[in-house]
Amino acid sequence: MSDEREKDSNVQEFKLDSDCELRFEVESKNEKVTLELKNGMAEIFGTELVKGKSYHFTTGAKIAVFTWQGCTLELRGKIDVNYIAKETPMPGWVVSRDTDTMLDRCVGEQENWSSSVQTLQRNIIPRQGPLNSPLFACTQPAPQIMYLNVHAALEQLRRSAEAGNTRGPITMVAGPTDVGKSTFCRLLLNYAVRMGRRPILVDLDVGQGQISVPGTIGALLVERPANVEEGFSQQAPLVYHYGHASAGSNLALYNMLVSRLSEVVSERMQANRKANASGVIINTCGWVKGEGYKQLTHIAQAFEIDLIVVLDQERLYNELVRDMPTFVKVVFLPKSGGVVERSQGTRAEGRDGRVREYFYGLRTPLYPHSFDVWFSDTKIYKVGAPALPDSCMPLGMKAEDNMTKLVAVSPGPNLLHHLLAVSFAASTEEDVITTNVAGFICVFDPQRFQYYVKQQVWNSQLGLVKQLRNYLNKEDECGHGKAVYDRIVPAVATTAQDSATLVGDTVHGQSLVPARHSVRQHDNNTSNLARTSSVLFVVEVAQRLDQFIKMEIRKGKIN
């Protein structure tokens, strides 16, 4: 009887009026909360909820469910914080299931970028009366610029770009930490996709990014709204290795990768007309002072930004207005009242969670695999070397900048629990630092070198090959369908981020390798490599593995 009462006490029903938002947080460890839409219409960060479907959220989730017309929601599980907010950044704006109608209602007949920005700044599209009532311009300035207004203006620019076969708007979202930059980017992307667009997400937040593991930057073509529980589909992101959780750890490397990523994104846009018209949404780090501000200006220059949206900080807004060219429009937006500040511990847990999710998945379970690689068949590098002090240099000479230099490293116990990012560079002669990565591997047992021989290595590889082929035959969601051995290439890898958590999922990039490869040491060399070092790892054994797979197929040992 007590169990039934406890079960009933963990079920709550909320009735929301139009333009209201239910906010809840899951803070208890090992807790799971289930959300279900009973009646009406609602969305989470721009993704519509399906009536009667259960959505599951675990520890650390901070969710805001918004409704335009009113709805009834049911929450099951222990909820630490929950309340209904009536003052949000969204009220007063209409989202219609007919996306063309939504746009026509929102932006009317703006002709160009200048009038669109004026629309943003004047806040001219509030809704009065019932949902289907006509819209009209506001004669008095609104207290804040609403999020949907930004989407409406961007959509008008996309239409103009599509009609003129020109580049769509490139938008950068900037602001200090914990102001909702990632959520705002997700909202803009979801609304764009719901209107048939294919925008590109560029995530430059190396500490709390959405695309890959911590310590990376990357880009992702968004073709469908984000999954409520898992976020955007990440079947083939473009990822570059940085190797630190802070953008300030290696400024030269960070700026180099940003420039390279901007070049590749520009090439992708030119090759894809729909993506070109849809534009780019760029998420940035929360470091906005000193060198962090210089990084923002470098990003704006590299990507040729059209619009900068500054969240919450007027100081940053005024500095950007002062320093940006006149053709770059800077808009100030307040942060949502539902934004929650995160402690350093919470941020660290979030990074560990991203690594764990990469290897094991979030909702769909993934199965990382391990196999042995001879370190004598590999080459290991770290990115960056300590600079010599000026006192050690000859008179009149300055030390060379080594922050983007490859330095050879001997394998050793210090590689334990390091993530190595497998690059598409075919050899060390190529510029492996600015080559995108295919995926990540983890060193989990560097001490057992004395127990492994070559035959066991091949046996482990054979088991891996069978698993990969089964995966391709049954669950090739990407539609590739080719044998794995045709896709294995010599690779270069880089450490992404030091973590004591073992993790993995499918290797992303141009080839489909749905297993994570762990590396074990087979010699006793040691090095002074710090746990946070960036390491490049060349897996030359891939060519031999390729030959071995083909041989086993000819023998009939692999079905």
| b (16+ CB within 10 A) / e for 94-109 | bbeeebeebbebbbbe
Q: Which of 463, 361, 376 is nearest to 411 (CA)?
A: 376
Give 488-497 pLDDT, tens digit per residue: 333 333 333 3
Average pLDDT of the segment spanning 195-199: 95
Judge whether 503 and 442 are in contact, CB under 8 Å: yes
| CATH number (domain holding residue 405) | 2.40.30.330
Domains held by the chain: number: 3
Same domain, 124 and 41: no
Whether residue 349 is contained in a domain is answered as no
Q: Does 190 reside within a domain?
A: yes
Residues 243 and 118 grouped into a single domain: yes
* Boundaries of domain holding 437: 368-393+400-555
Same domain, yes or no, for 60 and 206? no
pLDDT range class, residue 281, cuts 50, 70, 90? very high
Residue 13 within a domain = yes
Number of Cβ within 10 Å of residue 269's Cβ equals 21
pLDDT in tens, 87-108: 666 544 433 334 444 444 443 3
Residues 6+ apart with CB under 8 A from 104: none
Looking at the fold, whether 438 and 495 belong to one and the same domain comes out as yes
Nearest to 378 by CA among 550, 529, 525, 488: 525
Contact 192, 200 (CB under 8 A): no
Over residues 337-347, the mean pLDDT reads 85
> What was the pLDDT predicted at 184?
94
Q: Is 372 a residue whose pLDDT tops 60? A: yes
The reply to whether 280 and 173 lie within a common domain is yes
What are the start-end ranges of the E strands in 254-293?
A: 280-283
The per-residue pLDDT for 497 is 33
Q: What's the pTM?
A: 0.72
CA dihedral (45, 47, 53, 55) positive or negative? negative
State the binding site.
21, 62, 178-183
Q: Which residues are annotated as a binding site for ATP?
A: 21, 62, 178-183
Q: Residue 441 has what pLDDT? A: 79
Where is the domain boundary, 85, 116, 143?
A: 85
Other CB atoms within a 10 A radius of the CB of residue 408 amount to: 11
The 3-state DSSP class for residue 64 equals strand
Residue of 515, 203, 211 whose CA lies nearest to 359: 515
